[in-house]
Amino acid sequence: PPITLLDVFQEHARRRPRWPLLRFQDEVYTYEDIERRSNQAARVFSRHLGLQPGQTVAVFLPNEPTYVWTWLALAKLGCLMACLNCNVRGRALRHAVATAQATLVLASPGE
């Protein structure tokens, strides 16, 4: 079977949990941190939003660490992620959402 980016991430998280993976402003996130946060997000998405494998979710988030664990959480659930550019507005955004045929849009409060 093909090896996915999720597979590679999880292998690194298992072998090197305390290695830094992501630096954002003054924060450093380890593989373990991102694994934990993506698991939490996957549980919330599954239990409270009812996401199922195969569903498409449009993600309208800024370029922040939340984006990383959201992507991983959706991958863990077997959901497809339609990445929406958070700088797009109006007609272009409506077109992107319609084209994605997503069952849900995840966005930050500022979006």
pLDDT in tens, 79-94: 999 999 878 889 998 8
Supply 21's token pair.
Answer: 């993976």
Q: How many CA atoms within 13 Å lie on the side-chain side of 22?
A: 17
Query: Among candidates 47, 46, 18, 49, which has minimal Cα distance to 33?
Result: 18
- Check residue 111 and give its pLDDT: 65
Confidence band of 12 (pLDDT split at 50, 70, 90):
very high
- Check residue 109 and give its pLDDT: 81
21 Cβ neighbours under 8 A, 6+ residues apart: 12, 29, 30, 31, 33, 34
Domains, the chain, ranges and CATH? 5-107 (3.40.50.980)
| Model pLDDT for residues 38-74, shown as the tens digit of each residue | 999 999 999 999 999 999 999 999 889 999 999 999 9
Rounded CA separation 26/22 (Å): 11
Query: Among candidates 48, 49, 16, which has minimal Cα distance to 35?
Result: 16
**Main-chain phi, psi angles of 61, to 5 degrees:** -120, 150
